Amino acid sequence: MLELLAAHACHGGVQRIYKHESKVTGLPMRFSVYLPPQALQPEQGTHKVPALFYLAGLTCTEETFPIKAGAQRFAARHGLALIAPDTSPRGTGIPGENAAWDFGVGAGFYVDATEEPWSKHFRMYSYVRDELRETVLANLPVDGERLGIFGHSMGGHGALMLALRNPQIYRSVSAFAPLAAPSRCPWGEKAFSGYLGQDRAAWQAYDSSELVASASHKFAEGILIDQGLSDQFLAEQLYPEVFEAACHAAGQPLTLRRHEGYDHGYFFISTFIEDHIAHHAKVLLA
């Protein structure tokens, strides 16, 4: 059952925040939803619209994207819903869950943890792919056959990984400054070892550069990635060139745009969000 926490008129549609009890994480979870005006047509009955799932980065919540990205204007233009979950379970009671900004609360990394004590609650892969999607489809005017996914930083990793593993669910995918080869970067190594253990072979199921190399399905319309060249995390954490090489070797169409002067934050995202919404709309509205 969904609990509506907030609702705001926005570009002819409505921006909402919901809370629900999650069986997957065992805790209450929050997510935001933007419904465009095309979904709110009482004289015609409820009209189901395509939807984009957005996965946010480290320390973010379900409110970060709708407040900072400026995406609603363009979602309204194309008639797309926008759904953004929180970035981790909260209030688990695990000792030290808030001890670091890059692990634990706000840093679920969109994996299903297998290591104690994280494995009971930190199951963001199954939450996003299954429970959140099913909850949205059961309660909101969203067309489950026309879904895309995108994200930023840790969430860019999540979006690429979820799409590559589940092309039957997500028809389009894009990312802003993703952790494109998380098994190779400090953030990814810390998260994967903590959540998944020390066996690096287990990490490959969540590493987009590894996944694209072996994927049988190709996103024929291409994957879109935008990367700022003044991003403070580019050299140490992001590795877009590794994902680029893997796509080239696998024959996966990729548009990787590198932008002088742009950093890792939401000023960068808000500059190019229109292009990402259009990229998904081209696929989902075809």
Mind spelling out the 3-state secondary structure of 125-156? Answer: HHHHHHHHHHHHHHHCCEEEEEEEEEEECHHH
Q: Which of 25, 47, 176, 227 is nearest to 110 (CA)?
A: 25
Which residues face 100 on adjacent strands? 103
Convert the pLDDT of each residue in 57-76 to its tens digit: 999 999 999 999 999 999 99
pLDDT tens, position by position, 67-103: 999 999 999 999 999 999 999 999 999 999 999 999 9
**What does DSSP assign to residue 30?**
E
Number of domains in the chain: 1
Residues with a known catalytic role: 153, 231, 264
Report pLDDT for 239.
98
pLDDT recorded at residue 273:
99
CATH number for the domain spanning 224: value is 3.40.50.1820
Residue 45 pLDDT greater than 80, yes or no: no
Exposed, middle or buried: residue 107 (CB in 10 Å: 0-12, 13-18, 19+)?
buried
165-200: per-residue pLDDT in tens? 999 999 999 999 999 999 999 999 999 999 999 999
Distances (CA, A) of 141 to 19, 45, 50, 112: 17, 10, 9, 28
**Six-digit token pair at 220?**
């024929």
> pLDDT over 90 for what percent of the chain?
97
Alpha-helical segments (H) within the chain: 64-68, 72-78, 124-126, 133-139, 154-165, 186-196, 200-203, 208-214, 240-250, 266-284
- Domain containing 261 equals 2-285
The answer to whether residue 44 scores a pLDDT higher than 60 is no
Q: pLDDT averaged over the chain?
A: 97
List all residues 6 or more positions away from 116 whose beta carbon is below 8 Å from its beta carbon: none
